[in-house]
């Protein structure tokens, strides 16, 4: 079936939403995984957690928006995915809940055992989510057992084949590198140095895994030009990750962000024009055209997106601008809240009230 302009546009926009989610939530996952590895005491761990404390829950909105856009623009894709991947998606949800609860509960009780428990929950939940998202997207590309009724006939273990697990390892290592790069931007002192050192060690592994995944993807796609070009660009960006680690913090973070975006571009290019391929027979592939909602629905969605997306982007940019300052030990020795950190960054003027960003 022919892919209309709006169907192609909304597939592109859904890809943009996933890229934004992986870039923003990717460093959240990375920071969560690295709390215990980089924090040596309570002050340093508090500092690490507060680098993402004001933004992590806002970053998850990108996932909700991507899911909502998929439901509205391609309800057939949404229905097939959520029914066929039900247990896998439940595990992703459980991992996200565990990490979210760990952020909230970590500082609620002054006990080393309490904090250690939630630090492990934070690391495991973040790592599991990072791994499972890669596994899920690899299955989208590889395909699943599916008949003409577009009902997926696969168990959880059917989804854990070598190609899918490799995709999970790619996202796991890329997000760990991305999180370490983020911490070099947002912290000072020993934490920054340890994050920089860890990023240099993990980045080559992420490069090797990403290269293997791209080559395997190209082999599955018979080296089609539509996939080959973005794959080459992705490979060049990924190869630049270890180099930029030695230059500047901002350049290293920008490169890992671009690498994640390039990875999503390869995934979308390999998937198009399908929403979900079938390993039973390509005649049963769920195409974007077959999974699409009505033309009227997509027109309304486009109008709404034109109005509200700039507002969301502006608000997101403003949030990161407000919380752009580096954090150090002095900010958290005896300082229990993010508001108190802001009060230190923006001290009172002329003996009046504390001046904070509007």
For the chain, give every domain's residue range. 5-292
Query: Contact, 21 vs 59, CB < 8 A?
Result: yes
Q: Which helix (H) or strand (E) holds 230?
A: helix 225-239
pTM of the model: 0.87
Q: From the centroid of its chain, how far is CA 41?
A: 27
Query: Contact, 218 vs 231, CB < 8 A?
Result: yes
* Tokens at 160, concatenated: 């854990």
Burial-class residue 67 by CB neighbours within 10 Å (0-12, 13-18, 19+).
middle
CATH entry, 5-292, from 3.40.50.720, 1.20.1630.10, 3.20.20.150, 3.10.20.30 = 1.20.1630.10
CA–CA distance, 28 with 261 (Å, rounded to integer): 16
Q: What are the residue ranges in the chain where pLDDT is below 70?
A: 1, 222-226, 238-239, 245-247, 334-358
pLDDT in tens, 57-111: 888 889 999 999 999 999 999 999 888 888 888 999 999 999 999 988 888 888 8
pLDDT in tens, 269-305: 889 989 999 988 888 899 999 999 999 999 999 999 9
CA–CA distance, 13 with 10 (Å, rounded to integer): 5
Q: What is the pLDDT of residue 296?
A: 93
* Pairing label, strands 286-287, 274-276: antiparallel
Ranges assigned E (strand) in 225-285: 274-276
């Amino acid at each position: 079936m022919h892919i209309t302009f709006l169907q192609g546009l909304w597939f592109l926009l859904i890809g943009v939403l996933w890229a934004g989610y992986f870039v923003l939530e990717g460093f959240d996952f990375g920071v969560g995984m690295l709390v215990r590895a980089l924090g040596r005491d309570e002050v340093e761990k508090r500092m690490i957690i507060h680098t993402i404390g004001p933004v992590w829950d806002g970053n998850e909105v990108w996932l909700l928006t991507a899911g909502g856009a998929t439901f509205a623009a391609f309800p057939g894709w949404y229905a097939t995915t959520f029914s066929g991947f039900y247990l896998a998606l439940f595990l992703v949800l459980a991992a996200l809940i565990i990490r979210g609860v760990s952020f909230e509960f970590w500082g609620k009780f002054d006990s080393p055992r309490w904090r250690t428990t939630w630090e492990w929950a934070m690391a495991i939940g973040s790592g599991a989510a990072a791994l499972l998202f890669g596994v899920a997207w690899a299955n989208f590309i590889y395909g699943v057992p599916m008949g003409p009724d577009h009902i997926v006939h696969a168990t959880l273990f059917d989804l854990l084949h070598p190609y899918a697990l490799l995709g999970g390892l790619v996202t796991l290592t890329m997000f760990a590198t991305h999180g370490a790069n983020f911490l070099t931007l947002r912290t000072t002192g020993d934490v920054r140095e340890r994050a920089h050192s860890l990023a240099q060690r993990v980045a080559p592994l992420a490069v090797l895994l990403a290269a293997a995944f791209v080559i395997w993807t190209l082999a599955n796609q018979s080296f089609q030009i539509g996939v080959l070009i973005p794959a080459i660009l992705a490979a060049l960006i990924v190869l630049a990750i270890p180099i930029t680690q030695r230059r500047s913090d901002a350049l290293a973070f920008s490169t890992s962000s671009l690498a994640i975006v390039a990875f999503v571009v390869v995934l979308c290019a390999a998937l198009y024009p399908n929403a979900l391929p079938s390993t039973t027979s390509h005649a049963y592939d769920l195409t974007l055209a077959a999974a699409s909602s009505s033309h009227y629905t997509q027109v309304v969605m486009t109008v709404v997106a034109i109005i509200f997306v700039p507002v969301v982007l502006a608000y997101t940019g403003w949030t990161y601008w407000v919380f752009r300052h580096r954090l150090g030990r002095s900010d958290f020795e005896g300082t229990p809240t993010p508001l108190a950190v802001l009060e230190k960054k923006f001290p009172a003027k002329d003996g009046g009230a504390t001046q904070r960003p509007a």
